[in-house]
A and B are shown apart, each in its own frame.
Chain A
Amino acid sequence: MKNYQWLIRREIWENKAIWIIPAALAVLLVLTSLFGTLTGDILLGGSSASPGNTLTLSGKILLLSVSSVFVILLPIYSSWYLLDSLYADRKDRSVLFWKSLPITDTEVVLSKLLTALIIIPFVYWVIANLTALLVAFIVAVRAGAAISGAVWRLDLWLQIETLWIYLIITAAIWYLPVAAWLMLVSAWAKRAVLLWTVLPLMAALLVERWFLGGQIFAQLVLNRIFTGFLPAILASRGDSDTFVNNPAPIWSMLDPRGFVSSYSAWVGVLVGVALLYGAIQMRSRRIE
Chain B
Amino acid sequence: MTVLIEAQGLTKQFGSHVALDHINFSVETGRIVGLIGPNGAGKTSAMRAILGLSSYTGHLRVLDQNPRRDRAKIMRDTCFMADVDVLPSWLRVDQAIDFYAGVHSGFRRDRAQAFLAKSQISTTQRVRELSKGMKTQLHLALTMAIDAKLLVLDEPTLGLDLLARRSFYDALVNDYMDETRTILLTTHQVEEVDNLLTDVMFIAKGKIVLNVPLEELATRFVAVSVTPDALEAARAERPFYEQRAIGKRILYFEQPDLSKLTLLGEFHTPSVSDLFVAKLSGTTA
Contacts and interface: CB of A to CB of B under 8 A. Distances in A.
B72 A100 contact: no
Main secondary structure, interface of A, reads helix
B103 A101 contact: yes
B53 interface: yes
Contact of A94 (B51, B73, B86, B102): B86
Interface string A66-103: 00000000000000000000000100111111111111
A101 B86 contact: no
Interface in B72-116: 72-73, 75-76, 78-82, 85-92, 95, 99-100, 102-104
B82 A92 contact: no
A102 B103 contact: yes
Nearest to B76: A102
A96 B80 contact: yes
B75 A102 contact: yes
B48 interface: yes
B72 A102 contact: yes
Interface stretch (A5-13, A163-171, A247-255): A5-13
Contacts of B53: 96, 99, 287
B79 A14 contact: no
Contacts of A285: 54-55
Contacts of A89: 88
A3 interface: yes
Given A2-B102, A3-B103, A13-B95, A100 B75 contact: yes
Contacts of A14: 88, 90-91
Given A101-B104, A102-B73, A287 B99 contact: no
Contacts of A93: 82, 85-86
A91 to B, nearest CB: 11
A94 B88 contact: yes
A103 B72 contact: yes
B102 A6 contact: yes
Contacts of A102: 72-73, 75-76, 103-104
A2 B90 contact: no
A97 B154 CA distance: 12
A11 B104 CA distance: 18
B279 interface: no
B75 to A, nearest CB: 4
B22 interface: no
Nearest to A15: B90
A285 B48 CA distance: 11
A105 B102 CA distance: 17
A173 B232 CA distance: 82
Nearest to B54: A287
Contacts of B90: 13-14
Contacts of B89: 92, 94
Contacts of B205: none
Given A6-B102, A13-B95, A287-B54, A104 B82 contact: no
Contacts of B51: 99-100
A96 B73 contact: no
Contacts of B61: none
B128 to A, nearest CB: 10
A95 B54 CA distance: 13
B71 interface: yes
Contacts of A10: 99
A108 B53 CA distance: 15
Contacts of B86: 93-97
A213 to B, nearest CB: 38
Interface in A168-203: none
A5 B95 contact: no
Most buried by B among A6, A10, A92, A100: A100
Given A99-B71, A100-B51, A6 B99 contact: yes
Interface string B117-132: 0000000000000000
Contact of B79 (A13, A100, A104): A100
Given A100-B51, A100-B75, A102-B72, A13 B80 contact: no
Contacts of B95: 13
A13 B92 CA distance: 9
Interface of B: 48, 51, 53-55, 71-73, 75-76, 78-82, 85-92, 95, 99-100, 102-104
Interface of A: 2-3, 5-6, 9-10, 13-14, 89, 92-105, 107, 284-285, 287
11 contacts: A6-B99, A13-B91, A13-B92, A14-B91, A92-B89, A99-B71, A100-B78, A100-B79, A102-B104, A103-B75, A104-B71
The 9 tightest CB contacts between A and B, nearest first, are A100-B80, A6-B102, A94-B88, A102-B75, A102-B76, A104-B72, A96-B86, A97-B86, A96-B82
Given A94-B89, A97-B82, A99-B71, 8 more contacts: A95-B86, A97-B86, A99-B75, A101-B104, A102-B73, A103-B72, A103-B103, A104-B71
